[in-house]
Each structure stands twice: as C-alpha cells, then as structure tokens.
Amino acid sequence: MGFANTDEEAERLLADAMASVDEHYQSHGIFQSRFGLGRKPAIVVVDFAYGWTDTAYAAGSERLQGPVENTRRLLEAARPQKVPIVYTTSPYRPQSGDQPFKSAADVSQDFRGWDARACEIDERLAPQPEDLVIHKESASAFSGTHLAGYLIGHGVDTLLITGCSTSACIRATATDAKSYRFRPVIVGPCVGDRSAVCHVFTLFDIQARFADVISLEDSLQYLASEGFGSGE
C-alpha cells in the first residue's frame, strides 16, 4: 500500500500516537509552557542551498518548495525592520582531507554530483551584504560556529528558525538555541523535510521541550508589531 509523502497523510497516520503523548504530558502537567516572543529577534535560514532545494541533487526535495517561498515572505518582512539574518550552508572543499561522511554530499550515480553550486544559497533567498553566511560542519547552526556570539553581540533574545531538514538540522539548531538561552521559535511553514512523517513528528515533539512552533502569519504579525514583542 502506497504512502503519500504529505503533511496531511503523516498527521493522519500519527494522530493517535501524538494525541496519546500529548494526553500524557497534560495529565502530568509537564511541557505545557512556551518560550514566547521577545523584543529582539533574529532569523536563521538553515541550509536552504541548492543541494537541498534542487531535485537535480540526490538530497534535494520537492517538499522544500513551499517552505522556501514562505521563508522568502518572512525575510521580505524582516529586512525593513533591520532584523539580523543568518544563513547556514555546508563548506565545499573537494580536495581536502576533511571530507563529509553520511551526508547530503554522498555520491549517487543517478543525480547531479555534489559541487560548489550545491552549497550556494538558493537565489530565491539570496543573502544581502549585511547578512551573515556561516559554513557549518555539523547539524546545528551553533556547533563549531560563532553564531551565539554574533547573536549576543546584536542583543538578540529570540531566534526565528527556518530551513531544513526539520528532523536533523532544525531540531539540532533549536536545541542548541535553548541551551544558549535564546528563545527558540520555529516558523512551522518555513521548515521542511524530505519525509513528511519525520517533519510532522519532529515539530510535535520539539514543541514540547525545545522550541515554540508558530505559524507564518503569527511570525509576520510579530515582525510588524511595535517593539516586536512583549518579552513576556
């Protein structure tokens, strides 16, 4: 029996399991609070480079097209407000002795080989001169990078998280954002995963413990609000 790799089908299949977990949390009074939106946000765009957004590459997924467009809308609203914007991608150094393993760059004969373009940010979300582009080695945007210091230097208290993949780099970035005491807020429609099941369950699970998950509409309203947020 085939499975439609859509969020709606994944939600249907996982509904009973997620409801059971949620009932357990509620009955025990745990994982019910929210981080909220602070007064000074930044946006991180995780790995929306061609190697992930272009299906010519083995790691590319058509499921990311909607999240890319939604992220474009978010960035369009953020730039006039001078919100710091950070992008991450992978480094490309094919001749070095430090090659990635078990990664999106794995060789697949039926697809375009991993190349410099694979690590370039998708032009639909093109970084501007004032933005920071980080070449990261690990899943988290924080691991081995100066992202935390950069955000602290800009007085950031809230990190709006976009990009891919939900079950890997988004989860890791949100978890580390919490560890550094930023308010981790995933903009749900702005993140994606090759697997609908992984995407849906990760958002459900991570919202309980490591991040808030909000709609695109709520994030746009937040960015348009005076002072950005109450800080409460």
- Show which residues are catalytic: 169
Residue among 199, 174, 167 at smallest CA distance from 63: 199
* Residues in the chain, total: 232
Both tokens of residue 79?
Answer: 């730039």
Nearest CA among 165, 193, 153, 161 for reference residue 177:
161
3-state helix, strand, coil in the chain (%, to 5): 40, 15, 40
Report which DSSP code applies to 112. Answer: B
CB 7 within 8 A of CB 198: no
CA count, 13 A, side-chain hemisphere, 71: 33
Q: At what angle do helices 7-28 and 196-209 cross, to 10 degrees?
A: 20
